[in-house]
Amino acid sequence: GQSLEQPSEVTAVEGAIVQINCTYQTSGFYGLSWYQQHDGGAPTFLSYNGLDGLEETGRFSSFLSRSDSYGYLLLQELQMKDSASYFCAPIPGNTPLVFGKGTRLSVIA
Amino acid sequence: DTGVSQDPRHKITKRGQNVTFRCDPISEHNRLYWYRQTLGQGPEFLTYFQNEAQLEKSRLLSDRFSAERPKGSFSTLEIQRTEQGDSAMYLCASSLGHRLWEQYFGPGTRLTVT
């Protein structure tokens, strides 16, 4: 079967660093993507890990450990515009992404 | 604007009616996906195409749902005999086949079934 776990809500202060964890269980695994979705908007691609380790894209970094079926998204220098829902989306083989319920991040002043 | 467009953006229909949505993907993307999203949930996979071939359909998808991508470009999603439970945002996304992890989503079609 498939399962996906992320915290449902996270609150952090503007300028701080926040880490959103993701644990997954899928039948087959190709890699882990991260998407951001603002209220009323469509999901937008943030990052992808096909191999273990850290991928950095500006203020955002994503990490993957295949052996632990675990990944995280790290957001640095938080800005108010980062308030959104964040989805980790494992790819179970050559098939489409699996989205969970996501993590709602609120950035406060 | 990601380059993926959907039409209409909003649709209100009465229970039992049929509706059809259209998606125009990024032109060079050979993969096209349909998702459904309800409030507080992530996108739920419905089906996807590689070029004109429908490669996978969610087991949760009712027979009332059908999708086509006749020439490997735009796609349509039809829902027959709509039910109130079909009310949701229907999202279309596209990707290059070899970068299936990087999908570009359209703005969605919000369906309300009364």
Indicate the pLDDT class of residue A55, thresholds 50, 70 and 90: very high
Per-residue confidence (pLDDT) for residue A94, from 0 to 100: 62
| Residue A102 with chain B: CB contacts under 8 Å | 42
Q: Which is it for the CA torsion A25, A27, A29, A33, positive or negative?
A: negative
Whether the pLDDT of residue B98 is over 90: the answer is no
Q: Do the Cβ atoms of A108 and A96 come closer than 8 Å?
A: no
CB atoms inside a 10 Å sphere around CB B8? 13
Closest by alpha carbon to B101, among A89, A36, A56?
A: A89
Per-residue confidence (pLDDT) for residue A67, from 0 to 100: 94
pLDDT tens digit string along B8-19?
A: 999 999 999 999
Distance of alpha carbon A9 from alpha carbon A13, whole angstroms: 14
pLDDT tens digit string along A90-103?
A: 987 766 788 889 99
CB atoms inside a 10 Å sphere around CB A71? 25
Tell me the Cα Rg of chain A. Answer: 13
Residue B70, min C-alpha distance to chain A (Å)? 20
Per-residue confidence (pLDDT) for residue A26, from 0 to 100: 84
A27 — contact with chain B (CB < 8 Å)? no
Q: Do the Cβ atoms of B22 and B7 come closer than 8 Å?
A: yes
Whether the pLDDT of residue A87 is over 70: the answer is yes
Q: Which of B41, B44, B106 lies closest to A42 in CB terms?
A: B106
Distance of alpha carbon B102 from alpha carbon A49, whole angstroms: 11
Indicate the pLDDT class of residue A62, thresholds 50, 70 and 90: very high
Residue of B nearest to A97 (CA): B101
Tokens of B37: 């999203």
Where are the alpha helices (H) located in chain A, listed in sequence order? none
Where are the alpha helices (H) located in A15-96, listed in sequence order? none
Tokens of B102: 């990087």
CA angle at residue B33 from B27 to B36, to 5 degrees?
A: 135
Distance of alpha carbon A77 from alpha carbon A6, whole angstroms: 21
CB atoms inside a 10 Å sphere around CB B111? 20
Indicate the pLDDT class of residue B90, thresholds 50, 70 and 90: very high
Q: Which of B33, B101, B108 lies closest to A31 in CB terms?
A: B101
Whether the pLDDT of residue A1 is over 80: the answer is no
Per-residue confidence (pLDDT) for residue A103, from 0 to 100: 97
pLDDT tens digit string along A4-35?
A: 899 999 999 999 999 999 999 887 888 999 99
